[in-house]
Amino acid sequence: MHTEPFNELLARNRDYAKGHPGGDIPPVPALKTAVVTCMDCRIDAYSALGLRAGEAHVIRNAGGRARDALRSLVVSQRQLGTRQIVLITHTTCGMSSFRGGDLRGELGPAADGIDFDTFDTPEQAAADDADWLAAHPLVLPETTIGAFVFDVQTGELRHVKTVARPSAGR
Amino acid sequence: MHTEPFNELLARNRDYAKGHPGGDIPPVPALKTAVVTCMDCRIDAYSALGLRAGEAHVIRNAGGRARDALRSLVVSQRQLGTRQIVLITHTTCGMSSFRGGDLRGELGPAADGIDFDTFDTPEQAAADDADWLAAHPLVLPETTIGAFVFDVQTGELRHVKTVARPSAGR
């Protein structure tokens, strides 16, 4: 099997590449920022934050959860110098519509190791994750963490909380 | 501490929201597709694939690796009906510039559980991940998986491999 199932996306990519500026953009995010948000199909993360190529890492997973992003955040901070984390959950997220334990039960033993990290409200999820990261030993000192909720109907970000990780030795 | 560190991104978001179409876009991806790609700051995933709101899940992590995306892919397939997976690694990825074991060594015990899943070439990483997903018990039968490499200099996607997960019972 070849490209047939993907021909539509490949055609769209060819259109995109025609307008691609080319050249060498540095891989180090200019805003020293890593964004963590949900995989939701209604969120165009780059556009919603007005990001330009080269400015920020964008990490996305089901719910936009921090635990699932930890591996990526460590690489982002240690290898590529980011010091600001922007956590963005969103309204009407599917991760509030089921229980992780129920899904694990349906899936059986193959899913035993998976914490689906579902939540009740996007505000609480983002706030909890900001606190969790601020206390995590792998997050660098002097990291600033912002928790936000994205409204999928209006496209607006709502600020929930800002937490600064204490400096080392304090 | 309040919004000050994030004021630039919030201002850009307000500009974005002014042009947001509003209304209720269904959360179920219309293309039944989940894209997995790298968090790299040079990749505007939505634009590169010509995605429109409501069409596809976008999962992003360091390297665009499948293992780290498994939790999200399970939710994408089981809760939101996707049946096609598009894996996209890219040229000059930072995940080829260090060894996971070395980073774990620097970080100490707090990083013991983390597989950084670094790789030598983006082609091999995407191909290996396509095979890994096709054989994984949590990936649904009838899933089509495409492996691609994104060229960050030209903006072009290059097809590496397509794998179909066998139907159940075959």
The phi-psi region of residue B34 (left if phi > 0; otherwise alpha if psi is between -120 and 50; otherwise beta) is beta
Residues of chain B with pLDDT under 50: 170
**Residue B155 pLDDT:** 98
Q: Do A103 and B74 touch (CB under 8 A)?
A: yes
Could you tell me how many helices (H) and strands (E) chain A has, helices first? 5, 5
**Residue B170 pLDDT:** 47
Partner-chain residue, chosen from A5, A43, A44, that has the shortest CB–CB distance to B162:
A5
- Tell me, letter by letter, the H, E, C secondary structure of B31-70: CCEEEEEECCCCCCHHHHCCCCCCCEEEEEECCCCHHHHH
**Residue B89 pLDDT:** 98
Instruction: Decide if A44 touches B, using CB distance below 8 A.
Output: yes
Cα gap A9→B126, rounded to integer Å: 17
Cα gap B66→A151, rounded to integer Å: 28
Q: What are phi and psi of B96, to 5 degrees?
A: -100, 0
Partner-chain residue, chosen from A49, A56, A72, that has the shortest CB–CB distance to B13:
A49
Q: What is the helix (H) or strand (E) element at residue B88, kind and residue range?
A: strand B84-90
Helical residues (DSSP H) of chain B, grouped into ranges:
7-18, 45-48, 66-80, 100-107, 122-134
Contacting B residues, span 124-163, partner chain A, CB-CB under 8 Å: 136-138, 144, 146, 148, 152-157, 159, 162-163
Mean pLDDT of A84-101: 97
Say which CATH class B28-164 falls into.
alpha beta
Cα gap B80→B78, rounded to integer Å: 6
Q: Do B107 and A57 touch (CB under 8 A)?
A: no
Instruction: Decide if B107 touches A, using CB distance below 8 A.
Output: yes
Q: So where are chain A's domains?
A: 28-164
In tens, the pLDDT along A32-53 reads: 999 999 999 999 999 999 999 9
> Which tokens is B80 given?
């939101």
Angle at B131 between CA A113 and CA B68, to 5 degrees: 35
Mean pLDDT of A5-15: 97
Kindly state the percentage of chain A with pLDDT values over 90.
92
Res A18 pLDDT > 70: yes
Cα gap B144→B165, rounded to integer Å: 6
Q: What is the helix (H) or strand (E) element at residue A8, kind and residue range?
A: helix A7-18
Mean pLDDT of A122-127: 98
Instruction: Assess contact for A13 and B92: CB atoms under 8 A.
Output: no
pTM: 0.97
CA of A67 vs chain B CAs: smallest distance (Å): 11
Res A1 pLDDT > 80: no
ipTM above 0.95, yes or no: yes
Higher pLDDT, B169 or A18: A18
Res A28 pLDDT > 50: yes
Rg of chain B (C-alpha set): 18
Cα gap A98→A105, rounded to integer Å: 12
Res A170 pLDDT > 80: no
Cα gap B94→B80, rounded to integer Å: 31
**Residue B10 pLDDT:** 98
